[in-house]
Amino acid sequence: MRYRGLGETGLSVSEIGFGCASWWGQKAFDERQALGLVHAALDHGVTLFDTGAAYSGGEAEPRLGRALKGKSLDGVVVASKVGTYHDGRRVVRDFRPAAMEASVERSLRNLGLDVLPLLQLHGPAVAELDDDMMSMLEGLKRRGLVRAIGANSFDPAVIEHIVGLPTFDVVMVDYNLLRPERAPLVARAAAAGKGVLAGMPLAMGHANRQILRLRAPRDLWYALRALKNHRADIARWFLSARAAGPLVCSARTQEPPRGHRAGRTLWLPPQLARHDRVAGGAGLCAGRSKCLERGGRHDEDGPFDGEPCGLGYGAVAGDPGGGEARPAAGVAMRSDEDFLKEAIALALANVQEAGGRPFGAMVVRDGEVLATGVNEIAATGDPTAHAELSAIRRAAQVLGTPRLDGCVVYASGQPCPMCLSAMYLTGVTRVRFACSNADGEPFGLSTAPIYAELAKPLEAQAMDVRHQPVGGAGGELYAAWKARQNRT
């Protein structure tokens, strides 16, 4: 299992999370089997468990509490929701501060916890995110009832607003096969220091016509819910997808069923199959046991039969028990051209969906995408928010080191001198770009003049750049740094 920091919360989570909701929490689903799945997830290194007071008719939180009872929770991050709950008959929406405080206290009792590592607002409206709400949420932190505050919304406008609010540490967005246009929003949230969770990252299996496979009561339950809540998305995907299939499959049981058939291999378009690795991000596996995923090519049924899980874009292929990730059997390694096409797709999405500049980049090591980035100057006003720098920063966060030795940077356009310098400084091994400065020059997108200036001696450059000694400042300053390095 791999882990990553969740934004700036100080929490570390597994890249695969367990979503404790839906059929998993229903009374019709065997209690022993449901608890066994949680225990199997813990055994395989999963540390993120996401649930909510309104989930599964109000049964999900208590069931998760029973599953975790008596288990070591060191490093385990339990996330729940507030703002909705189930009153025994229906889901009630209540974002009044007093009602939310009472809901949090009930959730702690249900889960058997003294402190909730992550509390997320469940579908708030922008108008509800007022000063009273912020004061109440910050008060929960001060009282030690919650450690981090987040929000779960599939409304981009709400997430955009929350990204600018310092009270919030984490956002959960619907980033999946049916919502690839969320990529720039995810990137902006990560750039703002927010932890990012991918909600429904496999679109609940709709991209694989899963709703047509009715083999058990759970299948009918999911099909009816899909037809009730996601008809337009399903129709859009069925009509437009040239190749379809779930990125991941797994099971409701911990052993392969008898007579399961070998998985079929399906290819996805590069823009859908890419790993969008975002600093602080994780995926949620919706109540299943084991998962496999590797960019571009996937086993439809894998080693297990059953429903596709909700594994996120931060998934790891190979043995879930630990160790370094390794490619799943039969998966072809992607070529430089494949990665460059993905970088171009990121750039195009940034233009079409976010109104940004046409630049995308990714950092890859050993065939695995560590991080992606797009040019965020238009969104942030930061003139250094180039795609390559954004990807480099996130890759360093994923690896936990400023060194990117052995990494390859793939960029849609020729890196500017600033970005290329960063690649040298971090130890990037190779750089490949699709469009040259000559390609960009007619559109005002060439940095060739800057390269030409930097090739000149300092005194000959257009900008006034000169060495102006100030006493012995250089020696003292660097000596102080060296002494500090020696102490640490």
Catalytically active residues are: 388
- What tokens were used for 437? 């400065």
Reference 53, options 30, 27, 79, 29; nearest CA is 79
Pick the closest to residue 7 from 199, 188, 203, 273 (CA basis). Answer: 188
Residues 207 and 241 sit within 8 Å (Cβ to Cβ) = yes
CA-based angle 241:246:250, to the nearest 5?
A: 170
Alpha carbons 466 and 462: distance in angstroms, whole number: 12
Ramachandran angles phi, psi of 110, nearest 5°: -60, -40
Q: What is d(CA 305, CA 253) in angstroms, rounded to the nearest whole number?
A: 9
Residue from 36, 24, 54, 17 nearest 310 by CA? 17
Alpha-carbon distance of 65 to 138, in angstroms, equals 25
Determine phi and psi for 89, rounding to 5 degrees. -125, -35
Nearest partner of 320 among 4, 16, 68, judged by Cα: 16
Specify the 3-state DSSP secondary structure of 65.
helix
Distance CA 430, CA 428 (A): 6
78 three-state secondary structure: strand
Backbone angles phi, psi at 136, to 5 degrees: -65, -45
Residues 6+ apart with CB under 8 A from 233: 178, 203, 206
**Biggest alpha carbon distance in the chain?**
80
Query: What DSSP line would sit under 84-126, residue for residue?
Result: EEE-SSSEEE---HHHHHHHHHHHHHHHT-SSEEEEEEES--G
